[in-house]
Structure 1
Amino acid sequence: MHPLSVSALQLLRLVAADDLDAALEAGLMAYVPRPGDEALDPHHPDLPQRLLQAQQRLQQAWAARARHQARTARLARRAAEREARRAPPPLPDRRPALPAAAAAILARAQARAGKPSP
């Protein structure tokens, strides 16, 4: 269904049947009360209020889900940071690696000084 392709009365029927997926697809969140909506169904003069309440409940549920997802992500990030702090630091190499040219110069200098190369 295309949003707003159904009437307020059809939206109310979907909400009353607890078919919120279909109500959302039909445009529940875009519903804005219009004059005369309360007279569409004599059994439900509260039609506009019921639809607005359904919108509000869904918005609150979505906000709660977003807060929960943010909390879960925050806790996971904190756990990862805590694990990173607990991990032992990497062991330093015995000697920093020298570029090949510098290593050759050092080897020649040590040879002239009479020291064995490592």
Structure 2
Amino acid sequence: MTTAQESIFKYEDGFTHANFIQANFTPKFLEEANATLRAEAEKKCSGNLQCVFDFVFTGNEQLAKETGSTEEKAVRTNEAASTYYFRMKILFGNIYTYMLLKVILNHNNTEI
């Protein structure tokens, strides 16, 4: 927990560090959750950790699955964005097109 003096953030008029601190916040850990509920969540969420966490601590299956799918979408978007073309004009008018390609390896170090 930070103090107002340690905070690196700047606040809009009318707001201070105190507006954003939850002094009574207690973190939750999956290891401390009910084992039966966690097993149910792991089945419903196909093992997606973010989904499991949200299901266990909110009890809201729809929210949990949306959390899991958001992560999957972010991974796909990142993979799609990692391969792109750009054009660059280098001194005196020659135009070159380059392709940047990120090679994705699976756990066996073989290309996916």
TM-score under structure 2 length normalisation: 0.29
> Which structure has greater helix proportion?
1
Structure with bigger gyration radius: 1
Structure with the bigger RCO (C-alpha within 8 Å, sep 6+) is 1
